[in-house]
Amino acid sequence: MGNPQSKRTIERYAQLVARLAPKSEIGKGLLRAFWVGGLICSIGQGISDFYGNVLLLGVESASTATSITLIAIAALLTGIGVYDKIGKYAGAGSIVPITGFANSVVAPAMEFRREGLVMGVGAKLFTLAGPVLVYGISSSIVVGLAAYLMEWL
């Protein structure tokens, strides 16, 4: 049978872990992600409405201009250090929208800018976003070919 001394040690260790481990605040994290992600999307919708209704751009042009504007805002906020604070607070709520993609491109470039334009910024620019682009583009090609073949057959 087991050693009673080791059982007590295991029990004491489990109590210590339970006491010192940080409490999971999943509900709070979900709420933060939901409202920040929703706010980002609402801001995007407001920008789109502005381009469509005030500047009288067509739906496609307004959508394109909205994406560009959101990416520029996220890149600027990353550059001045604000987007990282938003990300720490909101978690996935700030990563899922297009602004998270902009952050994933700008953040490595900012981190390695001291190494120069070529070996720092240029080499590290797509460190985070590169795999997303590669697999996103590759999967879109595969799906597009499959759709074409299904329509052709």
- Does 74 fall in a domain? yes
User: How far apart are alpha carbons 45 and 38 in whole angstroms?
Assistant: 10
- Does 132 fall in a domain? no
Owning domain of residue 106:
27-125
**Following DSSP, what letter does each residue of 89-104 receive, concatenated?**
HHTHHHHSSHHHHHHH
pLDDT band of residue 2 (cuts 50, 70, 90) is: low
- Does 149 fall in a domain? no
- Does 95 fall in a domain? yes
pLDDT band of residue 59 (cuts 50, 70, 90) is: very high
Query: What was the pLDDT predicted at 15?
Result: 85
- Element (DSSP H or E) covering residue 153: none
pLDDT at 57 over 90: yes
Show the tokens assigned to 71: 């990416």
Query: What was the pLDDT predicted at 17?
Result: 83
Question: Do 42 and 35 contact (CB within 8 A), yes or no?
Answer: no
- Does 102 fall in a domain? yes
- Does 134 fall in a domain? no
Q: What is the pTM of this model?
A: 0.66
pLDDT tens for 6-55 read 788 888 888 888 888 888 788 898 999 999 999 999 999 999 999 999 99
Count of structural domains, the chain = 1
pLDDT tens for 135-149 read 778 888 999 999 999
pLDDT tens for 96-146 read 778 887 887 787 777 776 776 667 666 666 676 677 777 778 888 999 999
Angstrom CA distances, 16 to 7, 20, 21, 24, 132, stand at: 14, 6, 8, 16, 41
**Following DSSP, what letter does each residue of 31-90 receive, concatenated?**
HHHHHHHHHHHHHHHHHHHIIIIIS---HHHHHHHHHHHHHHHHHHHHHTTHHHHHHHHH
pLDDT tens for 68-79 read 999 999 989 988
pLDDT at 1 over 60: no
- Does 130 fall in a domain? no
- Does 11 fall in a domain? no
